[in-house]
Amino acid sequence: MNAAECIWMDGKLVKWNEANVHILTHSLHYGNAVFEGTRAYMTDKGLAIFKLKEHTARLLKSAKMTVLDVKFSQKELEDAQIQLLRANKFKGNVYIRPLVYLGYGIMGLAHTKAPVNTAIAAWEWGAYLGEEGLKKGIRVKISSFTKLNVGGQMSRAKASSNYLSSQMANYEAKDAGYDEALLLDSEGYISEGPGECFFIVENGVVITPPNDSSLLSITQDTVIQIAKDLGIEVRRERITRDRAYTADEAFFTGTAAEVTPISNIDNRVIGCGERGEVTKRLQDAYFDVVYGRNEKYSSFLTYI
């Protein structure tokens, strides 16, 4: 990770190396915290945050679900992200990580009397799954870890506690020589990647699972909108692993992953074994949007 100059913490800009918390910070022990992943792109008109309002709104919704009383309004958090990026004077693309967490003050499982803290960090970051992966595709392994049943976790909250299974799935896949994992839900249908949404292409139709057991994804929604605007049919359907094996194309989407082709699942070559035509169309269109090259979607960007 490339360190930046400062981090925003509860209304103040703090030097990067001084942005510390106590060892008895409640969230460190019991896992109740929520966060966001947001990107800012260096466009021809300067640095611009992609879907700032939507990401900030989802952060506050996640906090509400997990009973975290955030002290800041949506506008205050949006302004804080803009302030942070201006203060750090970034020269390239940036990843933004807002975090709401329970701080130091009490111990024990009960959390409502713990202080609720908010921090926002940002740093320059390139392609999450590698520049080569964006062009040639990545190898994916269906994990032995499954998404918890919706009765066992709040899937619509981007909560830190939800990501242990994602972390273990990612470790398992990479330890086996793959680039990323793919998780099934409790009924055996494909849910999502550890931090990405999953798409396949069949006969020119783009198909992605419903968000029954996965996070409501801002990038997934963006790609669906782009596909429809390009005249590509999109369907929300459950996908079995065997259907994924025989897809014409497959790809991941996400703030970090952007639009990343999948060339292989469980040692089954997908399509031609590299980025397919539909995936490339969507990937090119997506990058035109986030880099401000398509005026139709200019409202998605907040220039700082």
Q: Are 302 and 52 in contact (CB under 8 A)?
A: yes
| CA angle at 290 for the pair 42 and 294, rounded to the nearest 5° | 110
Q: How many CB atoms lie within 10 A of CB 302?
A: 17
**Dist. CA 219–CA 223, nearest whole Å:** 6
Q: Specify whether 15 is catalytic.
A: no
Exactly one of 158, 174, 280, 296 is catalytic; name it. Answer: 158
Q: Tokens 């499954």 label which residue?
A: 146
Q: Which amino acid is located at 163 in the chain?
A: Y
**Dist. CA 109–CA 102, nearest whole Å:** 12
Whats the size of the chain, residue-wise? 304
Q: Are 194 and 169 in contact (CB under 8 A)?
A: yes
Closest among 65, 128, 138, 66 to 93, alpha carbons compared: 128
Q: Which helix (H) or strand (E) holds 221?
A: helix 218-229
Active site residues: 158
